[in-house]
Chains A and B, each alone.
Chain A
Amino acid sequence: MRTEIRFVAFGGQGIILAGVILGEGAINDGKNAVQTQSYGPESRGGAARSEVIIADEEIDYPMVIKADCLVALSQPGYDRYSTEIKPGATVIVDEDLVDATEHPAAGACYRLPFTKTADKLGNRIVTNIVMLGSVCSITKVINEESLLKAVKTNVPEKFLDLNIKAFAEGCKIGLRALGQEGPGGK
């Protein structure tokens, strides 16, 4: 089965790294994965997009056709892509950065405190890892252990503990939200 996940944000919020880690996690899980990205010439502030396709079989077309899961950390990103999703797709947004109250499509929309949680942990830079934890526990697209392994190999040694904590917090937030909303709930 082919699962398409799209991350959208401003450049600098770490979604390209998040996509890389998710892809590597899928490889750790014995699956195939392709990660692609799109960003402007500026390294921070412009629109950024990171896409991951995960499948058991070989992946031919490497881009998202209609997302199974959209993760938005920016309003323009959400506005641009919130309709390019499959019916019943999972939408996950940062509740402080994206207003998704009028989410148009069928399927679950989770509004979660990624940036706030990262701030509480002491460094906003781990927002993307908190988010990944939640994506993992909500979509269950790959095994948590495989993803955590990929987190560990892709973050600086100095911030390893912080990232592990961020990932655990993200998983927790995701699970809690899943319990409240239930799969397929709005």
Chain B
Amino acid sequence: MKQQTASPGIKARHKPARPFTAEDFARVRRILRRKVLFTQGDIAVGYGALLAGCRFFAGYPITPATETAEILSRLLPRVGGTCIQMEDEIASVGAIIGASWVGARAMTTTSGPGFSLMQENIGYAAMTETPCVIVDVQRSGPSTGQPTEGAQGDIMQAKWGSHGDYELIALSPSTVQECLDLTIEAFNLAEAYRVPVILLTDGIIGHMREKIVLPEFEEVNIIRRKGPTRPPKEYQPFIDDGTKIPEMAIFGTGYHTYITGLTHTESGYPSTDNQPDHHRLVRRLCDKIRNNAEKIIRVQRDFGEGRTDNVTGIVSYGVTSRSVYYAVKTLRQAGMKIDHLRIITNWPFPEKEVAQLAERTTKIIVPELNLGQVYHCVREAAAGRCQVVPLGKTGGEMHTPQEIIETVQRKGC
């Protein structure tokens, strides 16, 4: 049979990416040599990507994110992967979308200014349901801001940065080990739900060095996107098989797939003036994440024993959690009742988990390295059950534990 190509006239010269195996994993481990390493968050993201089977990276250098691109430019070619420096961040996301459609697990990294540029194509990735991972090593903004300083100012942008209704997944690591672990998880979630997944690290954690322990293959559950179960003639690229996540045939495998940012029907072809078609598509794009929120969302609860009055809650995420751990330890030693909820999955937002906390507490403090972003989500989830107090900080330095302790101890705030 004559080989079918996606676009007649363009010869398919690529070979579709082959699946990532235990042998490939072992090869990465051999290249990284040691199991225990002392390394930076950015480098850990690179190692996590390699161990998750990432074989395509496209990016544009920017402080404080460049180290990931640097390490991958050295290591990806050694495992048969590709690393490209693009002309800018818009093209970087364009490139990983293309790579994903030929079956590669693909990633880009950037920081605030680049993340702003990426929004257009992140919307395209959401609309075309392209699995890909975008790492945003957050730095102080707006605009070029403080290149070498960390921040958590892109939380809302991660969710709402592109126009229109769509859902995606965003994760916040709080240690260098988690930079590695959550990068692997980001790839798995991207493949499972066919969405762009944003890893929200920051300049502090990106450049911070800590001990990491590399996982074994058995500890890493590599999830692959669902391939087509029908022959090419019966295949429709965007049909809901009941899970709301369509089967994805990759280019070059004989299946005909048309992808577009325009509203499209199940066939993939544009349908731009039909209300039910648009509603059906966008509803599904949102529902495939919203309906699975419970499966996707991860938090870490550190609640005190029993239900007592006068409990103070703290909701934290990312690097700020590190100051909170210290503050909670100190406050408990002083006899205060503190419940701490650490958010790992920023999007979809863990509303239920925050509502549970609000039930138990008289006030919730939300320390974050911005002037109030997750604060708004917490207030919405708490829905008047308790007081919600923002504790924003900008300028590149983490909250000191003392700043959190003082806010907890302040009466009434």
Contacts and interface: CB of A to CB of B under 8 A. Distances in A.
A23 B322 contact: no
Interface residues of B, number: 21
B401 A61 contact: yes
Interface stretch (A36-44, A92-100, A157-165, A170-178): A36-44
A41 B144 CA distance: 12
A140 to B, nearest CB: 20
B400 interface: yes
A41 B208 contact: no
B376 interface: no
Interface in B208-229: 208-211
Nearest to A32: B211
Interface stretch (B69-77, B126-134, B178-186, B323-331): B323-331
Q: Chain A at the B interface: mostly helix, strand, loop or mixed? A: mixed
Contacts of A32: 210-211
A53 to B, nearest CB: 10
A20 B38 contact: yes
What range describes how many residues of A lie at the interface?
20 to 34
A40 B64 CA distance: 12
A32 B400 CA distance: 20
B314 interface: no
A33 B147 CA distance: 25
A24 B400 contact: no
B341 interface: no
Contacts of B322: 60-62
Given A23-B38, A27-B38, A39-B148, A60 B329 contact: yes
A41 B63 contact: yes
A62 B205 CA distance: 10
Contacts of A61: 322-323, 325-326, 398, 400-401
Contacts of B208: 34-36, 62
20 contacts: A20-B38, A24-B38, A24-B209, A27-B211, A33-B211, A34-B208, A34-B209, A35-B208, A35-B209, A36-B204, A36-B208, A36-B209, A41-B63, A41-B147, A60-B322, A61-B322, A61-B323, A61-B398, A61-B400, A62-B319
Interface of B: 36, 38, 63, 147-148, 204, 207-211, 319, 322-323, 325-326, 329, 398, 400-402
Given A24-B38, A40-B148, A61-B325, 18 more contacts: A23-B38, A23-B209, A27-B36, A32-B211, A34-B209, A35-B38, A35-B208, A36-B204, A36-B208, A36-B209, A37-B207, A38-B148, A61-B323, A61-B326, A61-B398, A62-B322, A62-B398, A63-B400
